[in-house]
Structure 1
Amino acid sequence: MTTSSGSQASPARVLGTADAVAIGAGAMIGAGVFAVFAPAAAQAGAWLPLALLVAGVVAYCNATSSARLAAVHPESGGTYVYGRERLGELWGHLAGWAFVVGKTASCAAMALTFAAYALPGAERPLAVAAVVALTALNYRGVRKSAVLTRVLLAAVLAVLAAVVVAVAGSGRADPAELSLAGDWPGFFGLFGAAGMLFFAFAGYARIATMGGEVRDPATTIPRAIAIALGGVLVLYLAVGAAVLAVLGPDALAASSAPLADAVTAAGWPSLVPVVAAGAALASLGALLSLVLGVSRTTQAMAADRHLPRYLAGIHPRFGVPHRAEVAVGAVVVLLVATVDLRDAIGFSAFGVLVYYMIANASALRLGPEENRPPLLVPVLGLAGCVVLAFSLPLPSVVAGVAVLAAGAGLWLLRARWGRPGR
């Protein structure tokens, strides 16, 4: 979610379905696929593919609700705007708060994923260095271009294809590891794994907010959402099944770099540097975008007085929200130094699921004349977000609820004492 103020020129409607699909897939296929299968396997075991399907369905509902809301509220801001306009100011504030805290944890997860593949054994120092370096780049106004997004997507797809082919052709993958005849993980295990796997779909909302950039958005956006999410789901099912079949649930759950361990177990240790390079590209590319997006949201919330006004400052030379960027970078460094990858993924998933709870609740307030989605979509999305969020590991849920409560407390303090004339 990004926000902006002031007048903006209308973007040109130059993107077709293929462009929207590529941008959406590029936003989704990133570091998550290199890291999330291990904590998901710890929750669901051999039921991991079913958990992935559940996560994909919830992601589709969220994206569809967001797309319909974006058509009615075309201003930048995502659910920060939808919640405020449809449910009230508190809900908009909580959506923005959940986004900032969830995506800040995502930044830590991206940095730790990069370090786990690039330099096992020295993850934290390398992850801290990556955060500092990319925060410095963003401070000077560096952006990822659309061309770079496509290059990164092509490189990561090639690496994931190499993993699947290496495992499938090795003769060491055991289909019995995919059997559902083993231990049932329980609904908390299945849905908790789906909540973790939801992290790997992060970015799909990029399609939903492209209304001003695509040709015939009423047709193109729903089609692009279905194609991109469907394609990414098939890819994740292939990769997840491959690593599960060659490692087994227990070894997969214990892995800190599951795709590297999978190609090693398949007898292709020479591919480990290739996988590490793919993970580095995906993680650093996602981290660059995340620090950019979270800092802009932080700056916008500060400008609206939902966060300290000091964070709203814009650098006079580089034109970036430099105070917000430094603050976000500092918090991410703190998280990298104190939490592990699984905790970061769980906490991030909780925050983002709360964000989409509010999006689906907002979509339920759309009227028939506002192209409201079929009622089942926001209802299923809302219920799915609630179930997945509260099925995550207990520490993630407790920490998430505590941070949301703190956000609500800040809003109440602002409402009571922060308004002019009080």
Structure 2
Amino acid sequence: MSSEIQLHGPSKPGLGSDLSRPTKSPPKTPTDSRPSPRRNPILPTPISAPRGAANKLTLIPLIFLIYFEVAGGPYGAEPAVAAAGPLLALVGFAVFPFAWGVPESLVTAELSAALPGNRGYLSAVINSAAFPALCVDYLARVAPAVGSGRARAGAVAGMNLALSFLNYTGLSVVGWVAVALGAASLAPFVLMAGLAVPRLRPRRWLAVAENKDWRLFFNTLFWNLNFWDSASTMAGEVERPETTFPRALGVSVVMTSLSYLLPLMAGMGVLDAPPSAWDDGFFADAAGRIAGRWLKYWIEAGAVLSTIGLYEAQLSSGAFQLMGMADLGLLPRFFARRAPFFDTPWVGILLSSLIILGISFMSFNDIVASANFLYSLGMLLEFAAFLRLRRSRPDLKRPFAVPMPFPALVLMCLVPAAFLVFVMVIASWKVLVISSGFTVLGVGVYYLMAFCKARGCLKFSDGRVEEEKVLGEERRTRGGDEV
């Protein structure tokens, strides 16, 4: 995840930049009776609008894309058991998706429905860098030759290239691939839970670790259950976002919670293993002891498929965010270019893939911890933007609005905000250094773009070109009617 954090808002004055005062509509006249084509005054008209509805995301693919943005399967949940024991792990994965995921999902749903452009709050590019390396690590168990040296580097590069091309073929393709990957990676855990039922011993769920590692416990929960807002960067590609987004987010919250709870309950309820045995990859061992080696191998294969789905979903978010930033005039216009055949943001995909490739060779733990820290910064800004728009722009059209008064919205955001601050406070000094470096880099790019815009070195969108064309046509039409 990068430091490319931005609030929804105009890039220039005159486009609704004065958010403290609601705009007033002029009195209607007989010649002003037809609906105006003016877009939402808070955001500029995108220069990169898709050419048709063929590649629009529908409900089912969006559900699985959100699922892969957040979880992608229960892989990686095992350290929560080692850190605090079975009882607290179950409580964490039962409560956290709702205490944390529901507020973030509601905020995302309202903003995505009200401002359905390809504009995001943060980039998942840095976070995506962990997945090619993780995928190669799993493959090394089957083919040890790719476990180190040039073979490993080549495998990581090849994985990036192949998965980036899949993203290039279109978001609807990626969405349905996510559906297939989700079914294939979750199926062995459903079987594992079903086969475990006759042998369950519920009392084993009540055990608590003697020496608790709270930093590991909360970082594990946070890593496995964040990124609910990442799909908002693709809101402009969703069919009827005002209804599709809230429904997809609601289903995804329940689906995510169950995908962690069922395998954990099965493994901890059948096996009499100490919490310390639950390290990364223990789900595969648990499945082997419950059902046999065939299920163990299936779960290991599912881990690779899950990694692919996670990579695809988050690369899409990063690429569409770059395109949205070009719409806002924060990046040069060429970032908004779409591929001629697939209608995808090929410049954003290419740049994101190169960044991911470079970061993939960092330590997996360093990538994860830094992504958590930067994500916390981005989410604090997102909650602030949500509350500010609710207070300063009550007139903004919101096809979906969180049904709460403003004081209740503040309380709803305070709970996850407190957790975000906690995650940042417990970060190690190494994470602080890495995160600070990415933040400084992001600020430097911002001022570099401002310099290029002022000097005319590159072409930027002011976000008003398309809108002025529409309004000019409307004025000409009105003039003809009056004559």
8 A contact 1:315–1:321 mirrored in 2: yes
Closer, same or farther: CA 22–234 of 1 in aligned 2, 3 Å:
farther
Closer, same or farther: CA 411–336 of 1 in aligned 2, 3 Å:
closer
Distance in 2, matches of 1:50 and 1:394, equals 30
Distance in 2, matches of 1:156 and 1:40, equals 21
- Quick one: percent identity of the two aligned structures? 20
- Residue of 53, 57, 62 corresponding to 2:99: 57
Deviation at 1:420, TM superposition (A): 1.8
Query: What's the CA shift string for 1:101-131, capped at 9, x where partnerless?
Result: xx22332233234333333243545443211
For the pair 1:114 / 2:135, whether they are aligned, the reply is yes
For the pair 1:276 / 2:300, whether they are aligned, the reply is yes
8 A contact 1:204–1:229 mirrored in 2: no
Residue type at the aligned position of 1:343:
D
- Residue of 275, 278, 284 corresponding to 1:252: 278
The residue that corresponds to 1:23 in the other structure is 62
Unaligned runs of 5+ in 2: 7-44, 457-483
Query: What's the CA shift string for 1:183-211, capped at 9, x where partnerless?
Result: 3434x444333322224x65774599489
The residue that corresponds to 1:348 in the other structure is 371
For the pair 1:78 / 2:123, whether they are aligned, the reply is no
Closer, same or farther: CA 25–233 of 1 in aligned 2, 3 Å:
farther
Closer, same or farther: CA 306–146 of 1 in aligned 2, 3 Å:
closer
Closer, same or farther: CA 140–344 of 1 in aligned 2, 3 Å:
same
For the pair 1:36 / 2:76, whether they are aligned, the reply is yes
TM-score between the two structures when normalised by the length of structure 1: 0.74
Query: What's the CA shift string for 1:379-409, capped at 9, x where partnerless?
Result: 3233333323444555444422331233123
Query: What's the CA shift string for 1:202-261, capped at 9, x where partnerless?
Result: 5774599489734973xx7545534431232133122234445545432223x3x33222
Closer, same or farther: CA 337–178 of 1 in aligned 2, 3 Å:
farther
8 A contact 1:263–1:272 mirrored in 2: yes
Give the greater-gyration-radius structure (CA). Answer: 2
- Residue of 437, 443, 448 corresponding to 1:402: 437
8 A contact 1:43–1:190 mirrored in 2: yes
8 A contact 1:58–1:385 mirrored in 2: no
Distance in 1, matches of 2:334 and 2:162, equals 23
Distance in 1, matches of 2:277 and 2:322, equals 39
Residue type at the aligned position of 1:281:
L
8 A contact 2:339–2:345 mirrored in 1: yes
For the pair 1:158 / 2:187, whether they are aligned, the reply is yes
SS of the residue aligned with 2:173?
coil
Unaligned runs of 5+ in 1: 80-98
8 A contact 1:43–1:185 mirrored in 2: yes
Deviation at 1:331, TM superposition (A): 2.5
CA RMSD of superposed structures (Å): 4.0
Aligned residues: 388
Distance in 2, matches of 1:315 and 1:414, equals 24
- Residue of 148, 151, 164 corresponding to 1:135: 164
8 A contact 1:40–1:48 mirrored in 2: yes
8 A contact 1:109–1:344 mirrored in 2: yes
The residue that corresponds to 1:85 in the other structure is none
Distance in 2, matches of 1:66 and 1:141, equals 23
Deviation at 1:349, TM superposition (A): 3.0
8 A contact 1:24–1:207 mirrored in 2: no
8 A contact 2:47–2:336 mirrored in 1: no
Alignment of 1:310-329 (within 5 A): 320-329=344-353
The residue that corresponds to 2:220 in the other structure is 193
8 A contact 2:82–2:209 mirrored in 1: no
Query: What's the CA shift string for 1:340-368, capped at 9, x where partnerless?
Result: 2x333333333333332222111111135
8 A contact 1:63–1:204 mirrored in 2: no
